[in-house]
Amino acid sequence: MKIKFCGAAQTVTGSQHLLVINVKKILLDCGMFQGKREEAFKINRHFLFEPKDLHCVILSHAHIDHAGNLPVLFAKGFEGSIYCTSATRDLCSIMLQDSAFIQEKDTEFVNKRRAKRNEPLFNPLYTIEDARAVLEDFKSFPYDKKFYVDGFDNKVAVTFIEAGHILGSSQVLLEIEEDGKKIALGFTGDLGRYHLPILKDPGFLGNVDVLLTESTYGGRLHKNAELIESELETAIKEALEAGGKIIVPSFSVGRSQELIYALTELQNAKKIPPFPIFVDSPLTVNATDIFKLHPECFDTETITYLANGVNIFGLDNVKYVKDVTESKKLNEFKGTCMIISASGMCEAGRILHHLANNIQNSKNMIMIIGYMAENTLGKRIVDAKDNPGTKIKIFGDEYKVNAKIRILNAFSGHADQNELVTYLNKFDKTILKKLFLVHGEPEGQKLLEEKLIENGFKNIFIPKRGDVYQI
Ligand SMILES: [Zn+2]
């Protein structure tokens, strides 16, 4: 068999890995490439394989950089099934439509400018209808239960194993028989962390011959996830003392629910007083409803809370806001409150209004709990941390960053270097013949590679997009 790396190869976006077994093709993840508009347009519309020839897709999780290009695959003639866990399927049902909405809005914006310059207009990458159509072809399976992929004569078995990254996230174990030879291939997807709120900890794939591992934080160390609450407590006490508002840009799926969970725990332990908290993002509200449907993904602590009647998705002082008028009313709210809103990197959505309204007041705090990529407004805010008065642009207008910027490092959905090495050390190195590092930037991947060599790993590869390896 062969593997062709078609995305998330020496980068952290657009996860797509093609397995060629005899003549049949299976795609692991169908992620959208996110980056500069023109480059993204090109990469997302042109697959490194013929979509019609693809037999099926196996999804590790619902994040857009792992599942977001499925509607394009269908539009280009793919007719097979998409295998994933049921929580991933449910999250995809809202996230793909949300992504389509963003594509449509973005194209509208670009076309306005192109029309003025008499340039040909663009079509959106996909529409909400395209996103809905894809959902009919999902087939969901529980964790830890082996199943056979249709059409391979019981020669390709798949097992989903908990990845502890977001709701429904899984590592994928493939047991493949080709021309009488058996190969076990593992794909970590995005690997989560121990002690993250709500979710179960990552499981172990079991020994494999070939492993594709993520390497997002291959060169970095995080604070222990157990420190989430103490970091949060310190920041909230500081904000309450200043009497201002706390604005939190947050990803709708996962991070927002983890934050609410941590706030609930702090409040229950009387470490912080109850104060008004608003979750102002329709996608977050919908995602939270899906969380409630999937207790099979929860850790024992969360299950115990729920059994004891504790609502971990919101105490009485947490209000979920869907309606636009209600969202606008938050501008007039007097006194201390927390506003959690999307998008996570401050590139779009209601968070922009809240930043514009609050960032110039030195009593307020902007609390950063997620990764901010280069060239995003979120990153510019992070960079202004030690330089109050730095000017930034929101909706084309200039604003001074006078609010305090607090960065909470313990929140992270990805394993760091130590956690990755600890996890990988579980594999028997005499069985593991090839180890591929994917979903990472070259600098971090190199550092991880060095650590892995120190730990006795051999045959480590850092593939580029388009590279093909014979297994
Ligand atoms: Zn992810």
**Out of 30-39, 273-282, 389-398, least confident range:** 30-39
Q: Report the amino acid identity of residue 324.
A: V
Distance 189 CA to ligand 1 centre (A): 8
Please enumerate in sequence order all residues whose Cβ is within 8 A of that of 470, keeping only pairs 6 or more positions apart, or say none. 1, 2
333-375 per-position pLDDT tens digit: 999 999 999 988 898 889 999 999 999 999 999 999 988 877 7
HSE at residue 263, side-chain half, CA atoms within 13 A, is 28
Distance 279 CA to ligand 1 centre (A): 22
Neighbours of 372 (CB within 10 A): 20
**Which string of b and e fits 45-84 if b means at least 16 CB within 10 Å?**
eebeeebeebbbbbbbbbbbbbbbbbbbbbbeebebbbbb
- Round to whole Å and give the CA distance between 140 and 86: 5
Confidence of residue 429 (pLDDT cuts 50, 70, 90): very high
CB 168 within 8 A of CB 140: no
**Domain match, 353 and 232 both:** yes
**Domain match, 331 and 432 both:** no
Of 407, 431, 454, the one marking the end of a domain is 407
DSSP 83-141: EE-HHHHHHHHHHHHHHHHHHHHHHHHHHHHHHHTTPPPPPPS--HHHHHHHGGGEEE-
Distance 222 CA to ligand 1 centre (A): 17
- Round to whole Å and give the CA distance between 390 and 380: 9
**Domain match, 321 and 335 both:** yes
Distance 404 CA to ligand 1 centre (A): 29
- Round to whole Å and give the CA distance between 277 and 290: 21
Distance 97 CA to ligand 1 centre (A): 18
Q: In this model, does residue 87 exceed pLDDT 80?
A: yes
pTM over 0.85: yes
Distances (CA, A) of 274 to 223, 237, 263, 267, 317: 26, 12, 9, 6, 7
Nearest to 157, CA basis, from 105, 208, 215, 230? 208
Confidence of residue 411 (pLDDT cuts 50, 70, 90): confident
**Domain match, 79 and 124 both:** yes
**Beta-strand relationship, 16-21 and 2-7:** antiparallel
Residue 370 has a pLDDT of 87
- Round to whole Å and give the CA distance between 32 and 275: 38
**Domain match, 200 and 261 both:** no
Distance 190 CA to ligand 1 centre (A): 5
**Domain match, 145 and 129 both:** yes
**Domain match, 283 and 348 both:** yes
Residue 271 has a pLDDT of 96
Distance 175 CA to ligand 1 centre (A): 24
- Round to whole Å and give the CA distance between 296 and 299: 8
HSE at residue 243, side-chain half, CA atoms within 13 A, is 2
Of 357, 378, 407, the one marking the end of a domain is 407
**Domain match, 83 and 110 both:** yes
- Round to whole Å and give the CA distance between 210 and 436: 8
Distance 439 CA to ligand 1 centre (A): 10
Distance 147 CA to ligand 1 centre (A): 24
- Total structural domains within the chain: 2
Determine the 3-state secondary structure of 12 from DSSP: coil
Give the angle 267-272-275 at the CA atoms, nearest 5°.
80
Comparison of pLDDT for 380 and 225, the residue scoring more: 380
277-291 per-position pLDDT tens digit: 999 999 999 999 999
> The dihedral of CA 32, 33, 36, 37: what is its sign?
negative
431-440 per-position pLDDT tens digit: 999 999 999 9
- Segment 24-38 shows an average pLDDT of 91
Structural domain of residue 33, as residue ranges? 2-220+413-470
The CATH number of residue 393's host domain is 3.40.50.10890
**Domain match, 112 and 10 both:** yes
Residue 109 has a pLDDT of 82
**Domain match, 311 and 402 both:** yes
